[in-house]
């Protein structure tokens, strides 16, 4: 983000509304900020917004491209072809709500830019095509690097989701959708990602750490969370904690517990508590759970003995209750 502040002269925001959802983003990094090589701040940058409707972010943009809902992948793929100087079918392109001239103009600006930055949000990642939409904007970024320096970055939400991705990444090599059941990490979104596992009813217990899937996941996934023993670590009552069998209240990182959070560009920031809390930190609870699990796995690889498999759920609950009591 510091690099974008210092260098970006073209900023493209796709399917996101930072003016409302990331209120300090424009001011601190991408639009108004004056940087080392962007001394003119706002005047030295061109801002393009692509979205299905004019949001408050459109007022900040120099160019607003109103795309039809669900046509992001088509438009991004057409942009990739235009970047390479290849032909696109004009009639089918116009089904996206955008004209060839508009996209060609955008491509020309992108190629002319000294340093371009693309930010994308849930308008891209949570609409039909999901991961492929994200892949399309990332691929466009790769293609543009044949001509100039370009970066593409998701505008993340929900606190420290970037931290989860970053830590998983350096621990296992994969950011999410990881399976550890065979004793080593395996990656396969769709097979091992949480929503899919829950929707197919393939898990018989769940541990939710600082998230609220009960408010965000599809109903079949939420229903399954309610059916299996679910343990929630959160500093507040949530939809998920309501349906969980155990809710362990934890201290709030950055307010009453120390810890590390990751900025959306994966810069780790150490936070210190300003207040004390009667509750343990997430880390403390997880460490105690890990110790309790390790104590019940004499073979040392995290797998319980066969007898444990047959033990009633009450036993597992008791051990967790012991953790809570401690």
Partner 1 sequence: MNVVTATLKEELATPLEVEELSPDVIASLTRAEILNLPAHLGNRERRLGDFFEVEGEKSTCLELHGDLSRVKCIGHSMTQGSIAIHGNAGMHLGALMTGGTITVHGDAGDWLGAEMSGGLIRVHGDAGGQVGAAYRGSTTGMRGGEILIDGGAGIEVGMRMLRGLISIKGTVGDFAGLQMKGGTLFLFGRAGIRTGAWMSRGTIVAFEPLNLLPTFNYACTYEPTFLRLYVKHLQKLDVPVPERGWGGLYQSFTGDTSELGKGEILVCQPAAAEGSSSAS
Residues that bind partner 1 (CB under 8 A): 73-74, 77-78, 80-81, 84, 86-90, 92-93, 95-96, 128-129, 132, 139, 180-183, 187-191, 201-204, 301-304, 306, 309
Task: Please identify, using beta-carbon distances, which residue of 88 and 167 lies nearer to partner 1.
Answer: 88
3-state SS class at 219: helix
Q: Could you tell me if 147 and 136 are in contact, meaning their C-beta atoms sit under 8 angstroms apart?
A: no
Calpha distance 41→319 (Å, rounded): 57
Calpha distance 219→169 (Å, rounded): 29
Q: How far is the CB of 255 from partner 1 (least distance, A)?
A: 36
Task: Please identify, using beta-carbon distances, which residue of 78 and 222 lies nearer to partner 1.
Answer: 78
Q: How far is the CB of 252 from partner 1 (least distance, A)?
A: 32
Task: Please identify, using beta-carbon distances, which residue of 183 and 312 lies nearer to partner 1.
Answer: 183
Q: How far is the CB of 204 from partner 1 (least distance, A)?
A: 6
Task: Please identify, using beta-carbon distances, which residue of 24 and 86 lies nearer to partner 1.
Answer: 86
Task: Please identify, using beta-carbon distances, which residue of 40 and 191 lies nearer to partner 1.
Answer: 191
SS (H, E, C) 102-163: HHHHHHHHHHHCCEEEEEECHHHHCCCCCHHHHHHHHHHHHHHCCCCEEEEEECCCCCCHHH
Task: Please identify, using beta-carbon distances, which residue of 189 and 273 lies nearer to partner 1.
Answer: 189
Q: How far is the CB of 93 from partner 1 (least distance, A)?
A: 4
Q: How far is the CB of 183 from partner 1 (least distance, A)?
A: 7
Neighbours of 319 (CB within 10 A): 13
Neighbours of 264 (CB within 10 A): 19
Q: What is the DSSP string of 28-73?
A: IIISS---SS-TTGGGG-EEEEEESS--GGGGT-SEEEEPPTT-HH
Give the C-alpha distances (Å, rounded to integers) separating 278 from 185, 219, 256, 275: 35, 34, 9, 10
Q: Give Cα 279 distance to the centre of its chain.
A: 27
Task: Please identify, using beta-carbon distances, which residue of 177 and 254 lies nearer to partner 1.
Answer: 177
Q: How far is the CB of 289 from partner 1 (least distance, A)?
A: 16
Q: How far is the CB of 258 from partner 1 (least distance, A)?
A: 32
The candidate with the shortest Cα–Cα distance to 177, out of 163, 192, 164, 166, is 192
């Amino acid at each position: 983000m510091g690099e974008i502040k210092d260098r970006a002269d073209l900023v493209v925001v796709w399917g996101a509304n930072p003016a409302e959802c990331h209120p300090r983003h424009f001011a601190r990094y991408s639009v108004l900020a004056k940087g080392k090589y962007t001394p003119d701040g706002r005047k030295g940058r061109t801002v393009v917004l692509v979205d299905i409707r004019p949001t408050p972010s459109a007022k900040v943009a120099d160019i607003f491209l109103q795309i039809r809902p669900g046509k992001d992948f088509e438009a991004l793929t057409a942009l990739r072809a235009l970047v390479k100087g290849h032909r696109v079918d004009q009639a089918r392109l116009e089904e996206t709500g955008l004209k060839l001239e508009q996209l060609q103009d955008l491509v020309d600006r992108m190629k002319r830019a000294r340093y371009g930055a693309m930010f994308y949000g849930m308008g891209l990642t949570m609409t039909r095509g999901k991961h492929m939409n994200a892949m399309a904007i990332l691929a466009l970024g790769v293609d543009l690097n044949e001509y100039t320096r370009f970066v593409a970055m998701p505008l993340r939400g929900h606190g420290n989701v970037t931290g989860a991705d970053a830590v998983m990444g350096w621990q296992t090599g994969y950011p999410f959708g990881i399976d550890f059941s065979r004793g080593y990490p395996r990656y396969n979104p769709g097979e091992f990602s949480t929503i899919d596992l829950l929707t197919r009813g393939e898990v018989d217990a769940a541990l939710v750490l600082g998230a609220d899937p009960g408010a965000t996941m599809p109903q079949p996934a939420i229903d399954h969370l309610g059916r299996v023993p679910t343990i929630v670590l959160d500093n507040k009552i949530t939809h998920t904690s309501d349906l969980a069998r155990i809710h362990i209240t934890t201290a709030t990182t950055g307010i009453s517990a120390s810890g590390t959070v990751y900025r959306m560009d994966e810069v780790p920031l150490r936070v210190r508590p300003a207040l004390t809390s009667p509750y343990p930190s997430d880390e403390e609870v997880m460490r105690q759970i890990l110790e309790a699990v390790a104590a019940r796995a004499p073979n040392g690889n995290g797998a319980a003995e066969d007898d444990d498999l047959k033990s009633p759920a009450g036993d597992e609950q008791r051990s967790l209750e012991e953790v809570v009591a401690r």
